[in-house]
């Protein structure tokens, strides 16, 4: 039995479960890359639940690469239909799939926080081998807050790296309450930030979030 999974968790569906999804959604089964997704061993990503999701299921997403329309497909599976789940890949691992022009920036990001994970185009290209990255791709990251000192300095240090990066740095700083877009924490626009928790979105003060408090 799979317990509640955090947003951005990467999961794999059983082939039988995926075949059932394809039967329910004939329009998806017409695309070979989607129809063969589970057989190829490719993952899905946990998202926040939507209004149309059935209670008790796990909401999942499948972002297709640009060559396949860059569509974002939303499905939901029962916990019993998931055969594997793990966090999104570490940036240090996924860096092998990154453009050479990104290397210096990635090195700086890893010096700042070796535990940084990635969940966007770079992660999908690394995990599937499909061409997700393009010239205009962002680098989507998750920075875990491991200590109060790091929490207080992390947003400004990310901003310093972003200022000289050849790509846009996007993503969230993640603490006990959920994830906050790093630019909200680095900016001076008010004291409240929008926190994305597994099932809800709420606000709290920057100090409370970075201090590791729960809502």
Residue with tokens 């995990």: 127
Read off the tokens for 127. 């995990």
Active-site choice (140, 170, 188, 191): 140
Residue with tokens 């928790």: 197
The single residue of 53, 107, 138, 188 carrying the catalytic annotation is 138
Phi-psi region of 70 (alpha: psi -120 to 50; beta: other; left: phi over 0): left
Catalytic site includes residue 191: no
Contact 140, 116 (CB under 8 A): no
Whether 188 is catalytic is: no
Pick left, alpha or beta for residue 129 (phi over 0 → left; psi -120 to 50 → alpha; otherwise beta): left
Is residue 62 helix, strand or coil?
strand
The enclosing H or E element of 44 equals strand 44-46
- Of 205, 157, 148, 160, the C-alpha closest to 180 is 205
Active-site residue set: 138, 140
């Amino acid at each position: 039995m799979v317990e509640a999974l955090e947003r951005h968790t990467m999961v794999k569906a059983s082939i039988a479960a995926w075949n059932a999804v394809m039967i329910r959604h004939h329009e998806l089964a017409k695309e070979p890359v989607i129809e063969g997704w589970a057989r190829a061993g490719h993952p899905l990503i946990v998202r926040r639940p939507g209004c149309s999701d059935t209670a008790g299921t796990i909401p999942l997403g499948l972002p297709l690469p640009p060559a396949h329309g860059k569509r974002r497909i939303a499905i939901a599976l029962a916990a019993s239909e998931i055969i594997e789940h793990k966090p999104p890949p570490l940036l240090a691992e996924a860096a092998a799939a990154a453009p050479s022009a990104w290397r210096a920036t990635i090195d700086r990001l890893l010096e700042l926080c070796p535990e940084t994970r990635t969940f966007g185009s770079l992660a999908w290209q690394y995990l599937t081998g499909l061409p997700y990255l393009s010239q205009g791709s962002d680098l989507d990251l998750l920075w875990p807050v491991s200590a109060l000192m790091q929490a207080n300095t992390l947003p400004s240090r990310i901003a310093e790296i972003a200022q000289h990066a050849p790509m846009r740095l996007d993503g969230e700083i993640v603490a006990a309450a959920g994830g906050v877009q790093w630019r909200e924490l680095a900016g001076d626009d008010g004291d409240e930030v929008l926190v994305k928790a597994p099932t809800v979105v709420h606000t709290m003060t920057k100090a409370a979030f970075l201090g590791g408090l729960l809502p």
